[in-house]
Amino acid sequence: MKFFCDFIKNDLRTSFFVLPYAHGKNMKRVTVHDVAAEAKVSLATVDRVLNGRPGVKAATIERVNTVVKKIGFTRDWHAANMAKRRDYKIRFLIPEGDNAFMALLREEVKAASQVEPQRRTFVEANAIPPFDGEALVRELDNIKKDEVTGVVFVATDAPGVKEAIKRLAERGVIPITLVSDIPNSMRAHFVGIDHIAAGRTAASLLGRFIKPNKGKVAVVAGSMLLRDHVDRRFGFEQVISSEYQGIEVLPVCEGLDDNKMTQLLVEASLKTHPDLIGIYNVGAAKRGLISALKAHNKQDDVCVVAHDLTDDSREALRDGTFDAVINQDPPHQVRSAIRLVRAYADKSAFEESQERIKIDIFLRDNLID
């Protein structure tokens, strides 16, 4: 019994940061004992509240949380995990292929796998076929609770995926959608930019670049099975239709983020619409778009706004083929997904602002080498 009590005391003692705390006239270090004393509850009650365990009255929970904020108490999750021997196993499902942005995500996951073990977090990445809802469903259904803590995946809004997310969550695995979301599903959190806002931003940029000229604008997407592409297009058309009546948006072309297919689609648009004055590249196949424009010597005549600052889009900005690139931050997205899996696993709070992925706009003038 003494061993058990000592273990509990040591576990509690090592599970928290201790920070300076003004108590009376002296500065001391904040511990779980200070929380218990200030809230007038036992150490066991504090432990239940901090870990979200049942058996505590709502009024008591509120009192403990108020004290935690008042005295600046902060949990040391690393120490807690070491004391409890808790491991986090996180699996990323990243679409395979030559998508340059997805390659950046894979690189960031690989980098995280090297540093996260010091936080008892073990990260791996599995490749899945792009735009393949059935393959994603199979992958999610094959994941067992004892294999991983959470799964981070680029969601394809295809039949069966929402139900697979529900089954995954019910098995006790934390689902986090990355880059492309499935709202109104049982995913725990979405890590990515506001894609409607990104589309609206693209429209504002392209409209200003084109004005006062009038003509047609092509929208080149990867697939309308991706919610991010759907939302970008929606936001884009919202702004163009309301603010730039002289611009006609053509029906979306789906190139499946394949460079060769995208090149053929853009070349067909250039031939069919000699008054094409702009292109919004919603998807990732930028090399195909660049090849089509240069093959028809249109790189100086057609304004282009694209997504994601990769090697090809960076070069296209430098030589003037692209006018602007809307970027999201792959390192931030991977780090955020990992933090969120840990937070949901621990039932702990997280800083919303820290996990918000910002929209960055790059022109030739603000490129960083």
The predicted-structure confidence for 228-285, as pLDDT tens digits, reads as follows: 999 999 999 999 999 998 999 999 999 999 999 999 999 999 999 999 999 999 999 9
Which residue from 343, 290, 345 is spatially nearest to 314, judged by alpha carbons?
290
Q: How far apart are CA 359 and CA 279, in angstroms?
A: 20
The answer to whether residues 108 and 149 belong to one domain is yes
Are 243 and 211 within 8 A, CB to CB?
Answer: no
Q: How far apart are CA 289 and CA 302, in angstroms?
A: 11
pLDDT of residue 98: 85
Tell me the angle at which helices 286-295 and 259-272 cross, rounded to the nearest 10 degrees.
Answer: 40
The answer to whether residues 275 and 309 belong to one domain is yes
Which residue from 115, 118, 137, 119 is spatially nearest to 128, judged by alpha carbons?
137
Full residue range of the structural domain in which residue 75 is found: 2-82
Half-sphere exposure of 156 (CA within 13 A, CB side): 23
- The total of structural domains in the chain comes to 3
The answer to whether residues 52 and 138 belong to one domain is no
Are 334 and 112 within 8 A, CB to CB?
Answer: yes
Q: Return the exposure string of 109-140: e unless at least 16 CB atoms fall within 10 Å of the residue's CB, then b.
A: beebbeebeebbbebebeebebbebebbbebb
Q: How far apart are CA 43 and CA 9, in angstroms?
A: 9
Q: Dihedral of CA 240/241/242/246: which sign?
A: positive
Residue 121, amino acid: T
Residue 260 lies in a domain: yes
The answer to whether residues 55 and 102 belong to one domain is no
The answer to whether residues 319 and 207 belong to one domain is yes
pLDDT of residue 77: 56
Residue 59 lies in a domain: yes
**Cα torsion through 22, 27, 28, 34, rounded to 10:** -20
Residue 366 lies in a domain: no
pLDDT of residue 80: 58
CATH of the domain at 41: 1.10.260.40
The answer to whether residues 260 and 306 belong to one domain is yes
The answer to whether residues 177 and 136 belong to one domain is yes
The answer to whether residues 172 and 294 belong to one domain is no
pLDDT of residue 178: 97
CATH of the domain at 171: 3.40.50.2300
**Mean pLDDT for back-to-back runs of 10 residues, the chain (369 residues):** 42 45 55 87 84 78 88 68 73 93 96 93 95 95 93 94 97 97 95 98 96 94 94 97 94 95 96 96 95 94 96 95 96 96 89 92 89
Residue 14 lies in a domain: yes
Residue 363 lies in a domain: no
Cα Rg of the chain, angstroms: 25
Residue where a domain stops, chosen among 35, 61, 82: 82
The answer to whether residues 199 and 345 belong to one domain is no
Which residue from 233, 228, 238, 118 is spatially nearest to 177, judged by alpha carbons?
228
Which residue from 235, 226, 278 is spatially nearest to 254, judged by alpha carbons?
226
Residue where a domain stops, chosen among 61, 82, 103: 82
Tell me the DSSP string of 15-50.
TB---EEEETTEEEE--HHHHHHHHT--HHHHHHHH
Cβ-in-10-Å burial (0-12, 13-18, 19+) of 21 comes to middle
The answer to whether residues 200 and 319 belong to one domain is yes
pLDDT of residue 90: 98
Which residue from 319, 265, 325, 318 is spatially nearest to 296, judged by alpha carbons?
265
Give the distance from CA 148 to its chain's centroid. 19
Residue where a domain stops, chosen among 82, 114, 141: 82
pLDDT of residue 84: 54
Give the distance from CA 336 to its chain's centroid. 7
Instruction: State if pTM tops 0.75.
Output: yes
Residue 176 lies in a domain: yes
pLDDT of residue 341: 96
Residue 364 lies in a domain: no
What is the enclosing helix (H) or strand (E) of 336?
helix 330-346
Q: How far apart are CA 199 and CA 233, in angstroms?
A: 6
Residue 367 lies in a domain: no
pLDDT of residue 56: 84
The answer to whether residues 131 and 184 belong to one domain is yes
pLDDT of residue 329: 94
pLDDT of residue 218: 97
| Residue 53 DSSP label | -
Number of neighbours of residue 247 by Cβ within 10 angstroms: 21
The answer to whether residues 223 and 154 belong to one domain is no
